[in-house]
Structure 1
């Protein structure tokens, strides 16, 4: 992320957040611990975190782990993982293939990559942090030349699904992919018994997807382990919203990726 200008004295101030790849086992463990704290501690997901209290699965060793660190405190406050088409072959497929029939993805022309396990510390769920994370993703896309990005954006079901269904109705009307770019969930989201109370806002990750120009590819998957609705989102890089393309791609810069640290 680029430095910011201090309006008071015209000097260039260091950025508050920095994005980078986790290139050592210690750095990757920081991201896995953040995931556990958010998914198990906050969302109530049933995860066997072991003595280290980490969230990990068989895909992590094949992924490149991206993290956002708060400069002043040194804390990792956001992370995601990238699984490329080449690495997915070695991993036995994409993570999303456990939730959706991905025949459509297999037929896409060009190179594809999946992002997943995205989470942000509860104290930092602002546009700035999500934006910093997406700058890192954009840097990878630009450098490596991928044509499509996809992943699941989750909506919590703590209210019985009322909020999720309201959000899904909105994105179906405004941000649906064409019929030939649909995927089928293996477990459908049950209907909600009530309407949501109060204003309904998109989760930050889902909002970032649609702002970038991504489309939803059909019905959501009911993730009972994480108690959420997973919405499959597909972004054709050539269809990036011009405003956000300038914002992210013009600023995209990342150091090279080395070994995953989990091998």
Structure 2
């Protein structure tokens, strides 16, 4: 689930906490694992490594658990408070979007140094992205995207490459503009260079779970952006949703592009491919598509714009 663009809230959404009979046996240990949450002021974030800066905004790599918790709080505000995700017991009680991958991933955070250290804005974190390197994923059960897509063939076909999974991206509504997105991409590219990443993968989302209502953009992706055979990935059979819902001749390209979420549109612009088949994510209320982005296919002008040498992003 990734959102760096303004989502559309599902009409009539009401929260229903999904407490199973044995739910509390799972909640208590999980909350203990994330205990010790502190209210962290803006100043406490300033000891993090700064990767880039635009005016008052900075992109940093979180190095402390308490700052990962701030990213989780931000994700909760966007995915659950603003959008139509249904929290599990752990998320509901902690008001944080939590899953087991958080403990093994690296977390990019965007902070606004101009925010006052009071009220709800005291946390200072206005955007985040979660990064998972292949070497780490392999040691902890695999990539998150493997729950929805069969990526084993992709990894085996490119055994000598280093993969990075991108996910859980979100930005507060007031910061969903070009400068924040540029900082996030700058942080990602700095990380890619540092760890010598060869390809990026992940899932990007459409708001809503009715594929018929998304027929135009899904069909556009199927006809114009599906990965070549060497980079092909397919949704798992039990979760596969057909993307080819309209004939290519019926698609108005301009209208279809406008129907794409800005995040997906951004991925396509830098050279990304789309996997075969969409997947419905009931928990988050989204329709997901697989994104594959070989570093070698990224347009050079984007590297020059977002890369570490870009002066306007210099820390």
TM-score normalised per structure 2 = 0.70
Structure 2 partner of 1:100: 149
- Asked if 1:71 is matched to 2:113, the reply is yes
- Cα distance in 2 for partners of 1:63, 1:138 equals 16
* 1:130-185 Cα deviation digits (max 9, x unpaired): 11101000000011101011111111117x34553322222233322103322221
Structure 1 partner of 2:138: 89
Match of 1:184 among 234, 237, 260: 234
CA shift, 1:41, in A, is 1.4
- Cα distance in 2 for partners of 1:103, 1:246 equals 32
Kept in 2, the 8 Å contact 1:213–1:239? The answer is yes
After superposition, residues 1-263 of structure 1 pair within 5 angstroms as 15-48=55-88, 49-73=91-115, 75-107=124-156, 108=158, 109-157=160-208, 160-162=210-212, 164-186=214-236, 187-189=239-241, 200-249=258-307, 250-251=309-310
* Structure 1 stretch displaced more, 139-148 or 39-48: 39-48
Q: Which runs of 5+ in 2 are unaligned?
A: 1-50, 116-122, 246-250
- Cα distance in 1 for partners of 2:205, 2:229 equals 22
Structure 1 residues 240 and 166: CA distance shift in structure 2, 3 A: same
Which one has a bigger Cα radius of gyration?
2
CA RMSD of aligned residues (A): 2.5
CA shift, 1:239, in A, is 1.0
- Cα distance in 2 for partners of 1:254, 1:23 equals 20
Question: How many pairs does the alignment contain?
Answer: 240
**Structure holding more helix per residue:** 2
Kept in 2, the 8 Å contact 1:127–1:204? The answer is no
CA shift, 1:203, in A, is 1.5
* 1:195-244 Cα deviation digits (max 9, x unpaired): 9xx98432222122112111112211111111111111111101111221
What secondary structure does 2:93 align onto? coil
Q: Which runs of 5+ in 1 are unaligned?
A: 4-13, 256-263
TM-score normalised per structure 1 = 0.82
